[in-house]
Structure 1
């Protein structure tokens, strides 16, 4: 039955391959998004923007809360590699 189903599903191989590629890209994007080193770098950049007067205190607080939530999620789930690089 395996050979017959493979032959019948052969026309859908490009769709299955595309779905796999999309899943791989999504996993890599999530790994980078939840990488603690990346989040810490974004926090440092956010502080620089505040000190330079490019963002308001309210905007800083809002973005900082979002980044800290991401960092908490990353440390709780063990997401990201911690080296800040995209592989």
Structure 2
């Protein structure tokens, strides 16, 4: 890297760390959105809410569609 790289790169280090942190967060979000176990849990929660009468059939169908769309997108 050399002396010039250290001198000129050091002020940008916080920005580089922030960018990497953003990338890590994005990877985690993508992993959770596409994790089959997480999707199954969300679908189970919708089914439980429907069975308990907390949501209507239409709301359950809409919620399930949104969950499945997030998984495939």
Q: TM-score, normalised by structure 2?
A: 0.85
Alignment of 1:1-87 (within 5 A): 2-3=1-2, 4-71=4-71, 73=72
The whole-number CA distance in structure 1 between the counterparts of 2:68 and 2:16 is 37
In 1, distance between residues paired with 2:28 and 2:68?
A: 20
Number of equivalences:
72
Q: Which runs of 5+ in 2 are unaligned?
A: none
1:70 is displaced (CA, Å) by 2.9
Larger Rg belongs to: 2
- The structure where helix makes up a greater share of residues is 2
Which structure would you say has the larger RCO, counting Cα contacts within 8 Å and 6 or more residues apart?
A: 1
Q: How far 1:9 moved relative to its partner? A: 2.0
- Which contiguous aligned blocks of 4+ residues in structure 1 show a shift greater than 4 angstroms? none
